Amino acid sequence: MLKMEIPGREPLEVTDLVLDFNGTIAKDGRVHNKVKDALCLLGRKVTIHVLTADTRGNVAEATQRLPVVIQRLAGENTAEEKAAFVRSLGGRVVALGNGFNDRLMLKEARLGLCVLGEEGAAVEALLAADAVFTSALDALRFILKPLRHRATLRA
């Protein structure tokens, strides 16, 4: 469990981190070593889920030895599938995404973070999020550093 205290909001005890893969934690299908380090740190405190259609078929390999659980999306409506997954975890979720199909889960999550990285982000994902970051690394470090979320999200 990871505690986030944001002035003007109820304290958030995060139990789960839900991550989109392509364009969010992976660039061209690969996860940067620094992102891996941040995930290892976060994995000691929360359960990390990677939601993916795994179009490239390389997610298991790209996340090898990382403390993440891969959730493969099966259906046509991946946006709803992602949001339903976040809902099923029960309210103490931080989600990271960049795509149009991440918009519903970013809204559903207690805290939705949009990653506007080199692969870009859908405007709808950005508008559904609570905060936006220029890289997954910045977003993950933000979760780990209490002073940062206090300053960015205080009421």
Work out which of 2, 18, 19, 20 binds Mg ion, going by CB under 5 A.
Answer: 20
136-144 and 33-43 helices, crossing angle to 10°: 30
Contact flag: residue 112 with Mg ion (CB under 5 A): no
At which residue do the structure tokens 């970051």 appear? 133
Judged by CB under 5 A, the stretch of 24-32, 62-70, 80-88, 128-136 that binds Mg ion is 24-32
Contact flag: residue 117 with Mg ion (CB under 5 A): no
Give me the long-range contacts of 111-116 (CB less than 8 A, separation at least 24). Answer: 111/4, 111/12, 111/14, 113/139, 113/142, 113/143, 115/23, 115/24, 115/25, 115/139
Residues 55-94, one symbol each (x = binds Mg ion by CB under 5 A, - = not), give: ----------------------------------------
Contact flag: residue 52 with Mg ion (CB under 5 A): no
Chain residues that interact with Mg ion, rule: CB under 5 A: 20, 22-24, 98-99
